[in-house]
Amino acid sequence: MHFEGSFPVRRHAPLKWMSPERLLYLNITEKSDVWSFGILLYEMITLGAPPYSEVPPSNILQHLQRGNIMKRPPNCKQHLYNIMKACWTWKAVDRISVQELRKRLEAGKKSSNDRTVLQIPELVRPDLYAVVAGIETGIMENDYTVL
């Protein structure tokens, strides 16, 4: 987790997972990681759907600057989607803290009573996922297991 610092320009990273401050080459903090964690939550609840699949990576900053965020997935509880939205607050200073994020996730776990079940609609093909997500396929790990 980043506490503060900058992001090296020559390093490749998937744009759709980056916080606005990272896309704008501003200082990064742990709130930048909170943004990316929100994207990870989206991927988990959708069982691997790429974030912002309708937006080319080169347009993601403009898309976010217009206040656009991803819609609530059909199989996502409102409580969890509210957590995602709190992670995707544009201004880092207004974004949920790691401590509050943990508190909300733990509260959701307590209220779920182990009733939530995710069904896998289809297998995720990493090569197609990379194309939709805007990731270079050459940097993907090819050693994986489908459970």
Taking only the tens place, the pLDDT of each residue in 120-147 is: 556 667 777 777 767 776 655 555 444 3
User: What residue spans define the domains of the chain?
Assistant: 4-139
Residue 22 has pLDDT above 80, yes or no: yes
Backbone angles phi, psi at 69, to 5 degrees: -130, 170
More confident site: 49 or 142? 49
For domain 4-139, which architecture applies? Orthogonal Bundle (1.10)
For residue 140, which amino acid is it?
Answer: M
Contacts of residue 30, defined as CB under 8 A and 6 or more positions apart, other chains included, come to: 1, 2, 3, 4, 98
Q: What's the CA gap between 84 and 61, in Å, rounded?
A: 18
Encoded amino acid at 113, one letter: N
What DSSP letter does each residue of 39-105 carry, written as one string?
HHHHHHHTTSPPTTTTS-GGGHHHHHHTT--PPPPTT--HHHHHHHHHHT-SSGGGSPPHHHHHHHH
The tens digit of pLDDT for each residue in 75-94 reads: 888 999 999 999 999 999 99
Instruction: Name the percent of the chain in helix, strand, coil, to the closest 5.
Output: 50, 5, 50
- The model carries a pTM of 0.73
pLDDT of 110: 75
